């Protein structure tokens, strides 16, 4: 299994200068090749692939005005063309967006294959950069196939190792859990527990506003503007760190304690288009949480189930299966009109998600509500039942 191990490293002043040149050359080649391919298609309806851009790059390096390419390793420069080719393949075949130009103020990265670094199991030496002072937090046993050096807008340096190594699954667990994601409560579990999100963006919003206002007053291109930009980037970095730590801790705990995990398939991208909800939805990190649950379940031999988003998990009584006609969002607790059981809205939804997930595992297919016809003039009473399989 191909896994990634990321660590923070602390370059010297001389290494920072070489890294800046390496990032700049990789970014320049990516933008240059993207402009070359886009212009060829726009003007002549001609597609240019990786081989032609590679040959053009060779000619570009021979020019006197581009002699600065010799100051950095050629490996990350060549890898930029491969990354661009991958971006075009994803655009044409996988529905991704059209490749965009890279900017200096965003995250910078450079990838080194095996010909561009040396690894002896303890130290990493990169071509033209030298030995890196890495802050080790965990170790891996296999030789890395690629190394990625990156710098965040906040000024942090990271090294990522791509390693193909076997992964031992966790011991089998007895539990099964259903998870209902929400804004009022981040995750309500079918066992009755709730987990509140830290909401780091909302907590840092006042500080972020002041920093962004100070940034907007600085003259473009000045050193003070760059200092203000770094202050804003550091606040965003802290927000990301808090959110990522919470999501990793919760997802790892759920995967360790449960053999089966069922989650509702939410349309996060669609909800992000709603300006009233976008800030809260983005701050919660639903999409990243589900992604972590899914790949961790694959790693450790767990069963992960996506439930149909149209399944009425909140409106269905987990005790008798009756479905109420309507349940406004401001109603956080309700009583079933059929059996009289009182429900917490989120926990009841989590229990229904778990039941639907177990039914999908047993029978396969989607879980959708079965609608029963009513006669005209009869008293409106919900008689729907959640049907997972016939």
Task: State pLDDT tens for residues 13-39.
Answer: 999 999 999 999 999 999 999 999 999
CA-based nearest residue to 66, from 76, 75, 77 = 77
| 180 and 147, same domain (yes or no) | no
| 131 and 192, same domain (yes or no) | no
| 153 and 184, same domain (yes or no) | no
| 82 and 125, same domain (yes or no) | yes
For residue 156, is it within any domain?
yes
Last residue of a domain, one of 307, 330, 361: 307
- The pLDDT of residue 184 is 83
| 13 and 74, same domain (yes or no) | yes
- Annotated active-site residue 346? The verdict is yes
| 18 and 151, same domain (yes or no) | yes
Which contacts (CB < 8 Å, 24+ apart) does range 386-389 have?
Answer: 386/311, 386/312, 386/316, 386/321, 386/323, 386/352, 386/355, 386/356, 388/355, 388/356, 388/359, 388/360, 388/362, 388/363, 389/359, 389/362, 389/363, 389/364, 389/365
| 35 and 157, same domain (yes or no) | yes
| 54 and 133, same domain (yes or no) | yes
Tokens (6 digits) for 33? 């090749």
- The pLDDT of residue 55 is 96
Cα 159 to Cα 223: distance, rounded to the nearest angstrom: 28
Enumerate residue ranges in the chain where pLDDT < 50.
367-390
Q: Which of 180, 265, 288, 330 is catalytic?
A: 180
CA-based nearest residue to 234, from 214, 202, 208 = 208
| 18 and 156, same domain (yes or no) | yes
- The pLDDT of residue 319 is 85
| 186 and 154, same domain (yes or no) | no
Domain that holds residue 111: 2-164
- Annotated active-site residue 180? The verdict is yes
For residue 245, is it within any domain?
yes
For residue 80, is it within any domain?
yes
- Annotated active-site residue 264? The verdict is yes
Q: Residue-wise over 284-313: b if at least 16 C-beta within 10 A, else e?
A: bbbbebbebbbebbeebebebbebeeebbb
For residue 355, is it within any domain?
no
For residue 24, is it within any domain?
yes
| 152 and 46, same domain (yes or no) | yes
- The pLDDT of residue 293 is 95
- The pLDDT of residue 372 is 38
Last residue of a domain, one of 135, 164, 193: 164
Q: Which of 264, 265, 338, 370 is catalytic?
A: 264
For residue 371, is it within any domain?
no
Last residue of a domain, one of 288, 307, 326: 307
Q: Report how many domains make up the chain.
A: 2
Asked if 172 contacts 49 with a C-beta cutoff of 8 angstroms, the reply is no
Asked if 327 contacts 348 with a C-beta cutoff of 8 angstroms, the reply is no
- The pLDDT of residue 241 is 95
| 81 and 207, same domain (yes or no) | no
CA angle 117, 244, 131 (to 5 degrees): 20
For residue 386, is it within any domain?
no
For residue 318, is it within any domain?
no
């Amino acid at each position: 299994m191909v896994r990634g191990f990321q660590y923070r490293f602390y370059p010297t002043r001389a290494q920072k200068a070489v890294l800046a040149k390496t990032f700049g050359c990789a970014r320049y080649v990516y933008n240059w090749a993207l402009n070359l391919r886009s212009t060829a298609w726009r003007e002549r309806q001609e597609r240019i692939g990786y081989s032609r851009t590679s040959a053009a790059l060779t000619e570009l390096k021979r020019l006197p005005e581009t002699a600065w390419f010799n100051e950095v390793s050629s490996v990350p420069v060549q890898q930029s063309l491969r990354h661009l080719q991958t971006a075009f393949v994803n655009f044409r075949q996988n529905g991704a967006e059209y490749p965009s130009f890279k900017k200096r103020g965003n995250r910078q990265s450079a990838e080194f294959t095996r010909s561009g670094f040396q690894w002896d199991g303890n130290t990493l030496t990169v071509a033209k950069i030298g030995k890196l002072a890495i802050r080790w937090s965990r170790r891996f046993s296999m030789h890395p196939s690629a190394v990625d050096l990156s710098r965040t807008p906040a000024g942090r340096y990271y090294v990522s190792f791509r390693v193909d190594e076997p992964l031992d699954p966790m011991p089998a667990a007895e539990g099964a859990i259903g998870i209902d994601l929400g804004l009022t409560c981040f995750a309500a579990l079918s066992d009755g527990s709730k987990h509140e999100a830290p909401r780091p963006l909302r907590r840092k919003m006042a500080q972020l506003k002041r920093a962004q206002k100070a940034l907007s007053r600085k003259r473009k291109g000045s050193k003070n503007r760059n200092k203000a930009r770094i202050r804003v980037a550091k606040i965003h970095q802290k927000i990301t760190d808090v959110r990522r730590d919470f999501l990793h801790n919760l997802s790892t705990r759920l995967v360790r304690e449960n053999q089966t995990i069922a989650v509702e398939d939410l349309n996060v991208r669609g909800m992000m288009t709603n300006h009233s909800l976008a800030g809260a939805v983005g701050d919660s990190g639903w999409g990243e949480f589900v992604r972590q649950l899914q790949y961790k379940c694959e790693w450790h031999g767990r069963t992960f189930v996506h439930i149909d988003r149209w399944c009425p998990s909140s409106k269905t009584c987990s005790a008798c299966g009756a479905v109420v006609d309507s349940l406004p969002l401001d109603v956080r607790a309700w009583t079933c009109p059929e059996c009289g059981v009182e429900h917490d809205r989120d926990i009841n939804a989590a229990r229904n998600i778990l039941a639907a997930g177990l039914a999908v595992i047993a029978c396969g297919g989607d879980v959708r509500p079965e609608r029963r016809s009513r006669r005209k003039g009869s008293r409106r009473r919900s008689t729907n039942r959640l049907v997972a399989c016939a």
